[in-house]
Amino acid sequence: MSRKSKILIVFFVLLLFILTGCIWGKDKPADGDESNSTKKSTDSLERKALLVKDQELVVVYFATPDRKNLVPVTLSTKPTNEAPRIAVEKLLAGPENDFSLPTIPEGTKLKDLYLLGSTAYVDLTEEIMNISDDMANQTIDALVFTLTEFPAVEDVQILINSQIYQEIGPVDISKPIKRPHLINYYGKDSPGNSLAKVYFADANAMYLVPITVEVNEKNPPLAALKKLVAGPPEKSGLISTVWEGTGVNSLEVVDGLATVDFNAETLGYGGGSTAETMLVNSVVLTLTQFPEIKGVQFLIDGEKIEYFPEGTDVSNPLSAPTKINFSE
C-alpha cells in the first residue's frame, strides 16, 4: 500500500471518529456511566435516602389545559418519610382530573431517588426523553420545582437509566439544576432584579396560577398588589381574581401585618364562594411571599368588616394558606 493511501485511510478514520462524537449528545450519556461521570464531584459525599418526617401533603407541578403555564397542586398522602419519592411518582402519574395536564411524558418511571449533599439525584427511565423541544423546559421545570419544595434539596441532577445525559431537547441536564427563579414569566427577555409572584386564576377558575412579574423596588408588595388588580398578561390564558373596578386605596405594613384597604367595588363579584376564595387567597398569597409580611388584614374603604359576602371571615388578619390548589 502506498504512503498516500495510508494517509487517506488515517484521515477517513479520524473523520469518522469526529462525526461519531458529534452525534453523541442527547442520545448518549455525557461521560459514560453515572458512576464515572459523577465520581469526581461526589467522592467526598455520602449517598443518602431523601427522607422527611411524617409528611402528609406534597406539591407537584402540572400544566394548565392550554399548556401555557405550570400550576402547583397540593396532593394528600398517608403520613410518610418518603414524601419526596411519592411526590415524584404522583408527578409522573399525572393529574387525576381534567382541569390540568401532565408535564412528564407518559410511561416515564422512577428508578431511584437519593441525596448527595444538597443535590437530589432522580433516576428516570428513557421515556422522559419523549418530549418535544418546546415542552422540554416545562417538563424539567416541573420536576425541579417539585423536588426543591423539600428544604433539604437545593438542586436536582436528572439521570436517565442511571446515567447523566447531555440534554433533553434544548435543556442542559448534564449538571445539577437549581430551582428556577422565574415561573410562568411573560415579561421581557432580560428581567430585572426585583421580581415577585402574582396569583391569577386558570381559565376554568379551578386553580390559582403564579405569574412572575417585575415590581417597583421602592415598594414591592404594593407593586405586586397593583399588578394583581391590573389583571393577567394578555397571552397567558389566565383570568383575573378581582372584580372589574377593584382599586387599592392603600397598603401599610407594620410589624409583619399588611393592612390593605380596597374600594367598595372589590366586593362586586356578585356572590359565589369560588370567586370569593380566589380573591382572598390570591391577595394573601401575593402579599405573604414577602418575608416582612406574615398576615393580611382586609379593609373596605377604610373600614374593617366581619365577613365578605360569601361568608369568608376577614375580621382578623389572614395568614398564607397552608395548601395551594388542594386536591384530595
The pLDDT score that the predictor gives to residue 8 is 46
Q: Which 8-state DSSP code applies to residue 40?
A: H
For residue 5, give the C-alpha cell. Answer: 493511501
SS3 164: coil
Instruction: Identify the helix (H) or strand (E) that includes residue 21.
Output: helix 3-23
Question: Does the pLDDT at position 280 exceed 90?
Answer: yes
Smallest CA-to-CA distance from 94 within 77, 73, 79 is with 73
Give the domain-ending residue among 117, 152, 178. Answer: 178
* DSSP, residue by residue, 215-232: --TT-HHHHHHHHHHH--
- 298 within some domain: yes
Please give the Cα distance from 287 to 281 (Å, whole number): 10
- 29 within some domain: no
**Do 319 and 201 share a structural domain?**
yes
Question: What percent of the chain has pLDDT above 90?
Answer: 81
**Do 251 and 288 share a structural domain?**
yes
**Do 151 and 251 share a structural domain?**
no
Q: What are phi and psi of 248, to 5 degrees?
A: -100, 115
Give the total number of structural domains in the chain.
2
Where is average pLDDT lowest: 137-151, 205-219, 259-273? 259-273
**Do 317 and 213 share a structural domain?**
yes
Give the domain-ending residue among 178, 203, 236. Answer: 178
Smallest CA-to-CA distance from 130 within 105, 148, 107 is with 105
- 210 within some domain: yes
What are the pLDDT digits (tens) for 196-254?
999 999 999 999 999 999 998 899 999 999 999 999 999 999 999 999 999 999 999 99
Where is average pLDDT lowest: 19-33, 146-160, 216-230, 272-286? 19-33
23 CB-contact burial (10 Å; exposed 0-12 / middle 13-18 / buried 19+): exposed
**Do 173 and 44 share a structural domain?**
yes
Which residue in the block uniquely carries the three cell numbers 431523601? 50
* DSSP, residue by residue, 81-120: S-HHHHHHHHHHH--SSSSSB-SS-TT--EEEEEEETTEE
**Do 132 and 223 share a structural domain?**
no
- 26 within some domain: no
- 55 within some domain: yes
For residue 76, what are the β-bridge partners? 57
**Do 167 and 263 share a structural domain?**
no
Give the domain-ending residue among 178, 211, 229. Answer: 178
- 173 within some domain: yes
Per the structure, the complete domain to which residue 219 belongs is given by 195-327
Which residue in the block uniquely carries the three cell numbers 423541544? 133
**Do 253 and 164 share a structural domain?**
no
**Do 40 and 145 share a structural domain?**
yes
The pLDDT score that the predictor gives to residue 41 is 52
Extract the runs of DSSP E, i.e. beta strands, from the chain: 47-49, 55-63, 70-80, 110-116, 119-124, 155-160, 167-168, 171-172, 177-178, 195-201, 208-214, 248-254, 257-262, 295-300, 326-327
What are the pLDDT digits (tens) for 292-320?
999 999 999 999 999 999 999 999 999 99
Q: Which 8-state DSSP code applies to residue 180?
A: P
Please give the Cα distance from 247 to 268 (Å, whole number): 12
The pLDDT score that the predictor gives to residue 34 is 47
**Do 167 and 261 share a structural domain?**
no
**Do 155 and 223 share a structural domain?**
no
Count the helices and strands in the chain (H runs, E runs). 7, 15
